[in-house]
Chain A
């Protein structure tokens, strides 16, 4: 019993971080209707920013979100303007946009590999390797802090979507793009903004992953597969779904890992992705259920 609760705690801690990672992916899908396969590559960019902020200037990786989020937001706007804005206006090009995000992931990975080489890195603030013991439970501080940070950011995102006019417009666009346009939502501007927000969330995820995992440029393939499984389980485009998907699959993966060894943990996600797509491709909450 104690051991099971311990596994659930570890699973949930990781799930919180995965939820943050998946939030940007599902938000961009909800508004633009494309699966952004470069999402995790941008997370790695964020992790590199956090890494150098830490090693060069001693900035704590959690605090580094004040750099990674705005920097990645701006990068997102630039990428959107250069690549997606024009393709989006042309329906013929829209179908190749997912392939373009794939190409973008390759370009980012190649660029990072060229400058930083594929060696393992991670930021090492003191808490990353620390833990507290509460009764019979072992709580790794690094993962707990990362989860707390993720939850705070997700709550702020939720409040932004729920209580601001722009958030209202974003949700409306997710529900029905043409209807949003008809009532006067500037859907092009919303798309650009959401792409920027999605990238800012990837940046924050990068800050978190920099001390929870070790990373290298091509690590993003592993993440993107995991994120896809969470997002598909929850329902593409649903933030709440991504949260539920992240927490539940992470707990399952934690059990698999403890019973069959850690190498089987990622397989849990891939298998889940496969099964969900076969059985219930719209996921738990589907695209149209919004938040």
Chain B
């Protein structure tokens, strides 16, 4: 059974037009999803709807049979859905330890938070040696690791990442995907929006192509990768740039 059931969701900003136009998607526990699609398709908007930052105009988002509509971000976090947004929202002037502690903010239990941070640090040794430094001193890739680590403090069931490799060198991007593979191995469901469609689809179990606010195709990642029509419409340019580099 699906853990998250998104059904016929319409959503938009303010009095603006619908950005999501009847979108549906099922997320199964422990499985990983890669969402690809052109700029402005509504990928980030979808993640914002799931995590409660943007209430849908109609349709429903169910989590384990319970409607998430009307819940605030903190209430969604409590249920085990964490979000790593596109804009690298770290507390750049706070230390790495403080950033991780803020990750556990909703627990409001310092001892428990510190215990969990120990666990998170085992996965990210780079952070461990720099706990007292300001987060802004980290490189782009390390900041992304900190963002993931901060989300992991809550031991989520689902983690959503919006373009985690944006602006990172290919080698660093692979490290981020290595980390994501560890999460996958730990049984956490992952929803990742990825510009580098090939890398994202190779990582994920399930691929989704989003365009104009709805799913135009979804299926096992390898099917998405090998579908010629999708390749032409959505992945084509990527392959050329990759071939060039």
Contacts and interface: CB of A to CB of B under 8 A. Distances in A.
Interface of A: 90-92, 165, 168-169, 172, 175-176, 178-186, 288-290
Interface of B: 14, 53, 72-74, 77-78, 83-85, 87, 89-94, 102-103, 105-106, 108, 150
Given A175-B94, A290-B93, A181 B53 contact: yes
Contacts of A91: 14
Contacts of A184: 73-74, 77-78, 105-106
Contacts, number: 57
Contact of B89 (A168, A179, A186, A288): A179
Given A176-B90, A288-B92, A289-B93, A182 B85 contact: yes
26 contacts: A92-B14, A165-B105, A172-B105, A175-B91, A175-B92, A175-B93, A175-B94, A178-B85, A178-B87, A178-B89, A179-B89, A179-B91, A181-B53, A182-B73, A182-B83, A182-B84, A183-B77, A183-B105, A183-B150, A184-B77, A184-B105, A185-B74, A186-B72, A186-B74, A288-B93, A290-B93
Contacts of A290: 93-94
A126 B87 CA distance: 58
Contact of B106 (A90, A179, A183): A183
A179 B92 CA distance: 10
Contacts of B87: 178
Residue in A178, A183, A186 with the greatest tally of chain B CB atoms within 10 Å = A183
B85 A185 contact: no
Nearest to A289: B93
Contacts of A176: 89-92
Nearest to A90: B14
B146 to A, nearest CB: 11
B163 to A, nearest CB: 15
A88 to B, nearest CB: 13
